Amino acid sequence: MHKLYVIGIGAGDPDQVTVQAIKAMRQVDVFFVIGKGEDKRELVEVRTAILAEHVDRPYRIVDIADPPRDRASADYQGVVEDWHERRSAVLEAAFAQADGVGGILVWGDPSLYDSTLRMIERVLARGRMRFEYTVIPGVTSVQALAARHRMVLHRIGEPVQVTTGRRLRADGLSGSAVVLLDGDCSFTEVPGADVHIWWGAYLGMPDETLIEGPLREVEEEIVRRRAELRARKGWIFDVYLLRDVVVGGRR
């Protein structure tokens, strides 16, 4: 493999795939797909459907099993470092068997809470392989959330923080914050009566679910609905915006 494309494909809606992404996909000979088990097979199926719709030349798909990760350890940084190292090793082994141009389809955008670029840098740092790689941006779940709720992420002249549920619990809320990777529903631990939430799950997919309102009024509904969806599908991708003071109801 002499070249690799890392292609953002949007937050779940196949129509979010950009023209630039389609042009890149049509240059690829072999696509590497990291699977996450049968519970998340739908994520692989969306990728293969995108390829079937947009790629008009022969290509191969190489399935790669995602190494397990210890989610019970208190050493979060150490666990992630170890997981990244093992992930990069299985990618390197797959790259070594490929000829021509490779491609990886990344959910959302490769720059936001995705480890693909870190894995590739680890592969190159070992020095056993040499290849060029190009990153194609995609629509993030953050953008999709704002679009589906028809709202602006920040108030006029103010910043917006993009963070995780773990960091929200540690740092608290100040202003506006978009929260990803929150399997523990950390919004329930945010204090105060003047907090608003815009929540979305499976954005752009057939099971898309949206809930909005004052946090104290809708938090139980979100927790219940999230649990129902996860139990039914076996996995869930969700994201939300929190704002500590609602000015004029929505802005």
Calpha distance 8→138 (Å, rounded): 4
Nearest one of 249, 244, 250 to 179, comparing CA atoms:
244
Q: What is the pLDDT of residues 82-95, one digit of tens each?
A: 888 999 999 999 99
Nearest one of 119, 85, 89 to 104, comparing CA atoms:
119
Q: Which CATH number fits domain 141-243: 3.30.950.10, 3.20.20.70, 3.40.190.10, 3.40.50.720?
A: 3.30.950.10
CB of 10 closer than 8 Å to CB of 208: no
Q: What is the pLDDT of residues 218-249, one digit of tens each?
A: 999 999 999 999 999 989 999 999 999 755 44
Distances (CA, A) of 200 to 24, 135, 143: 29, 27, 11
Q: What is the pLDDT of residues 91-119, one digit of tens each?
A: 999 999 999 999 999 999 999 999 999 99
CB of 108 closer than 8 Å to CB of 18: no
Q: What is the pLDDT of residues 51-81, one digit of tens each?
A: 999 999 999 999 888 887 777 777 878 888 8
Q: Which residue has the tokens 């950390």?
A: 186
- 131-141 average pLDDT score: 97
Fold (topology level) of 3-136 = Cobalt-precorrin-4 Transmethylase; domain 1 (3.40.1010)
Note the pLDDT of residue 81: 87
- 165-192 average pLDDT score: 95
Listed by start position, the domains of the chain span 3-136, 141-243
